[in-house]
Amino acid sequence: MKILVTGGAGYIGSHTCILLLEAGHTLVVIDNLSNSKALSLSRVQEITGQSLVFVQADIRDETAMFELMKSHAIEAVIHFAGLKAVGESSQIPVNYYDNNVGGTLALLKAMQKAEVYNMIFSSSATVYGDPQTVPITEDFPLTATNPYGWSKLMVEQILSDLQASDPQWSVTLLRYFNPVGAHPSGLIGEDPNGIPNNLLPYIAQVAIGRLEKLSVFGDDYPTPDGTGVRDYIHVMDLAKGHLAALERNTNRAGRHVYNLGTGQGYSVLEMREAFAKACQREIPYVVSERRPGDIAECWADPAWAQQDLDWSAELGLEEMTTDAWRWQSRFPNGFEE
C-alpha cells in the first residue's frame, strides 16, 4: 500500500516506518523536523535495507499535502505529526491548537480533495483525564486537563464528525499509553529536546551521567509503593499496533477506536529498578513534590485491540529497558552528530 506518514521522523513514527517497510509498504514521510532529525529516517533505511521518500514539509501546508497525495497515489495516511509536551502546551496553547488541530484540519482537507479516505491518528490515554477506575476501556468518559490533551480530544471529535458525515471514511483512533524503549538495533530511539519530561528518558540520562539524579514526583499516591503507576508499552509493540490497524481497517469504513497498552501497570520505583538492572548502574533518586496534573494510576484494558485487531503487546519490562539503554549508551547525544 502507498502510505503517507506524517511526523515519521519522530520517535514513534520512525519505529513504525521500519515495520511498514518490512511489510512491503511504500512510504512517503513528511515532517517539518521541528522535534526530530532526518538522520532517524536514514537509520530506518539502513536497518531495513529499503528506501522511503522523505519530504520536509508542514502538515499545515494544505496545497503541499494535496500535491504529495496526488503525485504518489496515496491510499492511507498515518498521522503522527504534532506537538506533545504537556507542560509547554499550557504556556503556548495557541501554537498547540494551531499545529495539532489546525494542522489536522489542513491535512483532512487535502485528503478529501485527493480522495484519500483512510486515516490512522495518534491519540493518547490522556483523553481519559483522571479515570475513576482502572483498567481503562475505550468507552470510558473523555476529558482533558491541558491544551495538549484538548487538542487530542478535539481531533478525535473532528475525525468522528467527519466519519459520521461521510461514511466512506475509515478513521482509526489509537490511544497510546506510555511508549518507551527503542529498536533492538540501538540505531534509533527517543531523543527528547532539552531535559526530558518523561520518566524513562530521564532515567536513561541519569544512567549515562547527563543528569545527576531522578526526582520521583510524589510517593504518597494510593498505589502499592506510593509512586505513580503507568502502562509502559514498548515502542515496537506500538508500531506493530499500527500495522495491525492498517491491515484491518483500510477501506473498512467506520470509526475504530483502540487502547494500545499492555494491561500491566508499573510504578516509578519499579521502572527505576528495572532500568538499573538493565544498565547495571545505580540510578540515584530523591522523592520530591507531586507534579501538578499527574494522576495516581493509569493502565489500559487492551482486550478490544486483541479481539478486533488480533494485536497484543509482547515485549516486557526487560526488553523496554535493555533496548532503551542500548540506544542511550550507543548514542549518548541521540541524533546529534
Site for ligand NAD, rule CB under 6 A: 6-7, 9-13, 31-36, 58-60, 80-84, 99, 103, 122, 124, 176, 179
Q: Is 96 a known active-site residue?
A: no
Q: Cite the DSSP H helix spans in 166-302.
A: 199-208, 235-249, 268-279
Residue 24 has a CB neighbour count (10 Å cut-off) of: 8
Closest separation in Å from C-beta 19 to ligand NAD: 14
Residue 121's H or E segment, with its range, is strand 118-124
153, 233, 260, 268: which one binds ligand UFG (CB under 6 A): 268
Closest separation in Å from C-beta 178 to ligand UFG: 5
From the list ligand NAD, ligand UFG, none, partner contacted by residue 11 (C-beta under 5 to 8 A by kind):
ligand NAD
d(CA 188, CA 44): 8
Residue number, 137 or 253, with CB nearest to ligand NAD: 137
4, 125, 238, 276: which one binds ligand UFG (CB under 6 A): 125
146, 215, 223, 329: which one binds ligand UFG (CB under 6 A): 215
By CB under 6 A, residue 84 contacts ligand UFG: yes
Query: In the window 158-177, what residues touch ligand UFG (CB under 6 A)?
Result: 176-177
Closest separation in Å from C-beta 60 to ligand NAD: 5
Half-sphere exposure of 78 (CA within 13 A, CB side): 31
Instruction: Give how far Cα 132 sits from Cα of 123, 135, 266, 308, Å.
Output: 20, 10, 18, 25
Q: Which three cell numbers stand for residue 266?
A: 508499573
d(CA 215, CA 193): 19
Per the CB < 8 A criterion, the answer to whether 121 and 159 are in contact is: yes
Residue 10's H or E segment, with its range, is none
Closest separation in Å from C-beta 302 to ligand UFG: 13
Per the CB < 8 A criterion, the answer to whether 232 and 271 are in contact is: yes
Q: Which residues are catalytic?
A: 148
Contact residues: ligand UFG, CB under 6 A: 84, 86, 124-126, 176-178, 197-199, 202, 214-217, 228, 230, 268, 291, 294
